[in-house]
Structures are given as structure tokens and as C-alpha cells.
């Protein structure tokens, strides 16, 4: 729903302090925008892969979703972040206050295309690859994390993931 069409000057203008702004290259700013969009696209994909579209179409609370899906109680924290991010981007509406706020999709949820944003960032600066790789590694295990089967440390700091 939210399509960023800002050019570099508009992106830089979001950083009002010129001393701070000077610390970031144009490439960094552009890659950061692609990474932000990548996270949104990844959340759209996760919503579909986790089978949350029907719940969001009907309206759901975080606690209700955790109960309905038999997720671990800790799943409320990332789910709330996921939904707030999608709300900020215009994909979801939110009614009520935490912890019983209800999230509802504003229309059909697109499938998400995070690879597109990753390719665009890589074209700007190939050094932008690490944060995309970290998110991919994490997302691969989101279902296990939400069910309480794995911790974040087991997912991100696994020797199989980070060979020494």
C-alpha cells in the first residue's frame, strides 16, 4: 500500500540535523530505505506463510491469535511488532488499546516480494548484504520461535549459521 517514491533529497531531509545527516552516504540512505521496505515485504510473506490472512481479514487480537495458533506467550512481542509495522504501512487497521487491540486487514494482503528490495539494495551497494542475510536466517525459523521450540539465540547464533 505504501509506495516510496521519494528521491534522495527528500530522504535526506528526513534527517533534520545536518551534522547527523553528513554521517551517512547517499548509498547508505538508499539501502536503508530498501531494507525497510524489505522488512515490510517479508512481513507480508510471513503473514501468508503463517496462515494469518483469515484471522486478519476477520479481525484478531494478538492474545487471541496466540491462543488460536498455540503459540508460546512470548510470540505476542514479535507479532505485535509485525502488525504495527504492517499498520504503519497501511495494510492493517488497529482498533482499541494494547494489550487487547484488534488488527484487521484493510484489503487483500499482497504476497510480499522481499527479494526485489534486496536486489535493489545490492545494486546500490553490494556491502548492504549482511542485514538482509540476518533477516532471512531469522525468518526461516519464525514458526519454531513463535511455537516456543527455539530461542532467538538458537536461531541466530547457531554454529551452523555462523561458522567460526
For residues 79-102, average pLDDT: 96
Q: What is the per-residue pLDDT for 161?
A: 63
CATH number, span 20-107+114-156 = 1.10.10
Q: What is the per-residue pLDDT for 158?
A: 76
Q: What is the per-residue pLDDT for 5?
A: 54
Q: What is the per-residue pLDDT for 39?
A: 98
C-alpha angle 151-156-158 in degrees, rounded to nearest 5: 90
Q: What is the per-residue pLDDT for 81?
A: 97
Q: What is the per-residue pLDDT for 163?
A: 54
Of the given ranges (66-75, 119-128, 153-162), which has the lowest mean pLDDT?
153-162
pLDDT at 86 over 70: yes
Long-range contact set of residues 49-54: C-beta below 8 Å, sequence gap at least 24: 50/142, 50/143, 50/146, 53/105, 53/109
Quickly count: other Cβ atoms within 10 Å of residue 41's Cβ.
20
The mean predicted confidence, pLDDT, of the chain is 91
The share of the chain scoring above pLDDT 90, in percent, equals: 74
Q: What is the per-residue pLDDT for 14?
A: 83
Listed in sequence order, the residues at least 6 apart from 14 whose beta carbon sits closer than 8 Å to its beta carbon are none
Higher pLDDT, 71 or 158: 71
The share of the chain scoring above pLDDT 70, in percent, equals: 94
Q: What is the pTM of this model?
A: 0.87
- φ/ψ of 82, rounded to 5, equals -55, -50
Q: What is the per-residue pLDDT for 107?
A: 94
Q: What is the per-residue pLDDT for 132?
A: 96
Q: What is the per-residue pLDDT for 157?
A: 84
Q: What is the per-residue pLDDT for 164?
A: 46
Amino acid at each position: 500500500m505504501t509506495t516510496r517514491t521519494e528521491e534522495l533529497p527528500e530522504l535526506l531531509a528526513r534527517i533534520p540535523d545536518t551534522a547527523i545527516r553528513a554521517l551517512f552516504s547517499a548509498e547508505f540512505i538508499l539501502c536503508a530505505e530498501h531494507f525497510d521496505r524489505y522488512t515490510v515485504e517479508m512481513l507480508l510473506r510471513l503473514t501468508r506463510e503463517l496462515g494469518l490472512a483469515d484471522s486478519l481479514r476477520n479481525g484478531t487480537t494478538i492474545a487471541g491469535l496466540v491462543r488460536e495458533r498455540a503459540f508460546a506467550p512470548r510470540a505476542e512481542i514479535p507479532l505485535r511488532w509485525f502488525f504495527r509495522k504492517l499498520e504503519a504501512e497501511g495494510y492493517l487497521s488497529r482498533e482499541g488499546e494494547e494489550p487487547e487491540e484488534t488488527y484487521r486487514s484493510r484489503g487483500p494482503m499482497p504476497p510480499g516480494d522481499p527479494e526485489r528490495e534486496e536486489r535493489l539494495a545490492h545494486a546500490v551497494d553490494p556491502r548492504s548484504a549482511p542485514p538482509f542475510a540476518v533477516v532471512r536466517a531469522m525468518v526461516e525459523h519464525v514458526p519454531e520461535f513463535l511455537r516456543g521450540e527455539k530461542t532467538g539465540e538458537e536461531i541466530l547464533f547457531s554454529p551452523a549459521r555462523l561458522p567460526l
